[in-house]
A and B are shown apart, each in its own frame.
Chain A
Amino acid sequence: MAKKIVTALVGAAVLGMGAQAAQADTLSDVKAKGFVQCGVNGSNLAGFGAQDSAGNWSGLDVDLCKAVAAAIFGDATKVKYTPLSAKDRFPALQSGEIDMLARNTTWSTSRDSQLGFDFRAVTYYDGQGFMVKKELGVKSALELSGASVCVQSGTTTELNLADYFRSNNMDFKPVVFESQDEADAAYNAGRCDAYTTDASGLYSIRLKMANPDDHMVLPEIISKEPLGAAVRQNDSKWLDVVSWSHYALVAAEEFGITQANVEEMKKSANPDIKRFLGEEADSTLGADLGLPKDWAVQIIKAVGNYGESFERNVGQASPLKIDRGLNALWNKGGLQYAPPIR
Chain B
Amino acid sequence: MAIAQARTGDGEPPKVSLLYNPALRSYVYQILTLVLIVWVVWYAWHNATQNLARANMTSGFGFLNSRAGFDIAQSLIAYTSDSTYFRALQVGLLNTLVVAACSIVTATIVGLLVGIGRLSHNWLVARLCTVYVEIFRNIPPLLVIFFWYLGVLALLPTIRTIFQHVKDNPGAIFFISNRGIYMPAPIFGDGFGLVVAAFVAGVLAAIAFTVWANARQRATGNRPPVLMVNLALILLLPFVVFLLMGMPLSFDYPVPGSFNMKGGMVIGPEFLALYLALSLYSASFIAEIVRAGIRGVPGGQTEASYALGLRPGPTTRLVILPQALRIIIPPLTSQYLNIIKNSSLAVAVGYADLVAVGGTILNQSGHSIEIIAIWMAIYLSISLLTSLFMNWFNAKMALVER
Give, as a whole number of angstroms, the nearest-CB distance from A231 to chain B.
Answer: 11
Partner of A153 from the list B51, B178, B179, B360 (CB cut-off 8 Å) is B360
Q: Is the CB of A15 within 8 A of B356?
A: no
A162 at the B interface (CB under 8 A)? yes
List A contacts of B350 (CB < 8 A).
153, 175-178, 182, 186
List B contacts of A158 (CB < 8 A).
70-71, 360, 364
User: Once the chains are docked, how many angstroms separate the CA of A110 from the CA of B365?
Assistant: 8
Q: Which residue of B lies closest to A94 (CB)?
A: B55
Q: Is the CB of A176 within 8 A of B352?
A: yes
Q: Is the CB of B259 within 8 A of A162?
A: no
Give, as a whole number of angstroms, the nearest-CB distance from B374 to chain A.
Answer: 14
Q: Is the CB of A147 within 8 A of B178?
A: no
User: Once the chains are docked, how many angstroms separate the CA of A178 from the CA of B142?
Assistant: 14
Q: Is the CB of B359 within 8 A of A153?
A: yes
List A contacts of B81 (CB < 8 A).
159, 162-163, 166
What 0/1 readout, one digit per residue, does chain B (181-216) give for beta carbons within 8 Å of chain A? 000000000000000000000000000000000000
Give, as a whole number of angstroms, the nearest-CB distance from A339 to chain B.
Answer: 25
Segment of A84-92, A196-204, A255-263, A285-293 in the binding face: A84-92
Segment of A17-25, A64-72, A307-315 in the binding face: A17-25
A172 at the B interface (CB under 8 A)? yes
List B contacts of A136 (CB < 8 A).
259
B110 at the A interface (CB under 8 A)? no
A190 at the B interface (CB under 8 A)? yes
Partner of B47 from the list A14, A173, A182 (CB cut-off 8 Å) is A14
User: Once the chains are docked, how many angstroms separate the CA of A15 from the CA of B360?
Assistant: 20
List B contacts of A172 (CB < 8 A).
71
User: Once the chains are docked, how many angstroms separate the CA of A64 from the CA of B352?
Assistant: 36
Give, as a whole number of angstroms, the nearest-CB distance from A178 to chain B.
Answer: 5
Segment of B37-45, B309-317, B335-343 in the binding face: B37-45
Q: Is the CB of A15 within 8 A of B44?
A: yes
User: Once the chains are docked, how many angstroms separate the CA of A189 from the CA of B260?
Assistant: 15
Q: Tell which of B71, B260, B269, B347 has the most Cβ of chain A within 10 Å.
A: B71
Q: Is the CB of A182 within 8 A of B365?
A: no
Q: Is the CB of B347 within 8 A of A15?
A: no
Q: Which residue of A lies closest to B155 (CB)?
A: A189
Give, as a whole number of angstroms, the nearest-CB distance from B66 to chain A.
Answer: 10
Chain A's interface size range is: 35 or more
Q: Is the CB of A94 within 8 A of B348?
A: no
Q: Is the CB of B178 within 8 A of A190?
A: yes
Give, as a whole number of angstroms, the nearest-CB distance from A137 to chain B.
Answer: 11
Known: A19-B47, A146-B262, A190-B159. A87 touches B73 (CB 8 A): no
Give, as a whole number of angstroms, the nearest-CB distance from B380 to chain A.
Answer: 16
User: Once the chains are docked, how many angstroms separate the CA of A172 from the CA of B365?
Assistant: 24
What 0/1 readout, one digit per residue, does chain A (221-256) give for beta carbons within 8 Å of chain B? 000000000001110000000000000000000000
User: Once the chains are docked, how many angstroms separate the CA of A9 from the CA of B36?
Assistant: 10
A10 at the B interface (CB under 8 A)? yes
Q: Is the CB of A174 within 8 A of B71?
A: yes
List B contacts of A268 (CB < 8 A).
none
Give, as a whole number of angstroms, the nearest-CB distance from A120 to chain B.
Answer: 16
Partner of B70 from the list A15, A114, A159 (CB cut-off 8 Å) is A159
Per DSSP, chain B at the interface is: helix
Partner of A175 from the list B44, B70, B73 (CB cut-off 8 Å) is B73
Give, as a whole number of angstroms, the nearest-CB distance from B54 to chain A.
Answer: 5
What 0/1 readout, one digit per residue, does chain A (305-341) give for beta carbons within 8 Å of chain B? 0000000000000000000000000000000000000
Q: Is the CB of B48 within 8 A of A14?
A: yes
Q: Which residue of A lies closest to B261 (CB)?
A: A146
List B contacts of A9 (CB < 8 A).
36, 40
List B contacts of A190 (CB < 8 A).
154, 158-160, 178-179
Q: Is the CB of B359 within 8 A of A13?
A: no
A83 at the B interface (CB under 8 A)? no
A30 at the B interface (CB under 8 A)? no
List B contacts of A19 (CB < 8 A).
47
Known: A86-B363, A114-B365, A191-B269. A17 touches B56 (CB 8 A): no
CB within 8 Å of B: which of A175-227?
175-178, 182, 185-186, 189-191, 193
Q: Which residue of B lies closest to A14 (CB)?
A: B47
Q: Is the CB of A87 within 8 A of B362?
A: yes
Q: Is the CB of A14 within 8 A of B44?
A: yes
Give, as a whole number of angstroms, the nearest-CB distance from B245 to chain A.
Answer: 35
Known: A159-B70, A162-B69, A190-B158. A147 touches B258 (CB 8 A): yes
User: Once the chains are docked, how many angstroms separate the CA of A17 from the CA of B257?
Assistant: 50
Q: Is the CB of A173 within 8 A of B364?
A: no
List A contacts of B71 (CB < 8 A).
158, 161-162, 172, 174
User: Once the chains are docked, how many angstroms separate the CA of A144 from the CA of B260?
Assistant: 11
Q: Is the CB of A22 within 8 A of B54?
A: yes
List A contacts of B348 (CB < 8 A).
178, 182
List B contacts of A87 (CB < 8 A).
359-360, 362-363
Q: Is the CB of A154 within 8 A of B58?
A: no
Q: Is the CB of A186 within 8 A of B44?
A: no
B325 at the A interface (CB under 8 A)? no
CB within 8 Å of A: which of B8-52?
36, 40-41, 43-44, 47-48, 51
Q: Is the CB of A14 within 8 A of B43?
A: yes
Q: Is the CB of A233 within 8 A of B55?
A: yes
Partner of A163 from the list B58, B69, B179 (CB cut-off 8 Å) is B69
Q: Is the CB of B363 within 8 A of A153?
A: yes
Q: Is the CB of A15 within 8 A of B369?
A: yes
Give, as a whole number of angstroms, the nearest-CB distance from B143 to chain A.
Answer: 14
Partner of B366 from the list A14, A114, A176, A189 (CB cut-off 8 Å) is A114
Q: Which residue of B lies closest to A89 (CB)?
A: B363
Known: A17-B51, A163-B69, A175-B350. 18 other contacts (CB 8 A): A14-B44, A17-B47, A21-B54, A94-B57, A94-B368, A111-B366, A114-B57, A136-B259, A146-B258, A146-B259, A154-B364, A158-B360, A172-B71, A178-B348, A182-B349, A189-B154, A190-B179, A191-B178
Chosen A-B contacts, 9 in total, with CB atoms closer than 8 Å, are A17-B48, A21-B54, A90-B368, A147-B258, A153-B356, A154-B363, A158-B360, A175-B350, A178-B347
A-B pairs, top 5 by smallest CB distance, nearest first, are A154-B363, A13-B44, A189-B154, A162-B81, A116-B56
Q: A-contacting residues of B (Cβ < 8 Å)? A: 36, 40-41, 43-44, 47-48, 51, 54-58, 69-73, 81, 150, 154-155, 158-160, 178-179, 257-260, 262, 269-270, 347-350, 352, 356, 359-360, 362-366, 368-369, 372
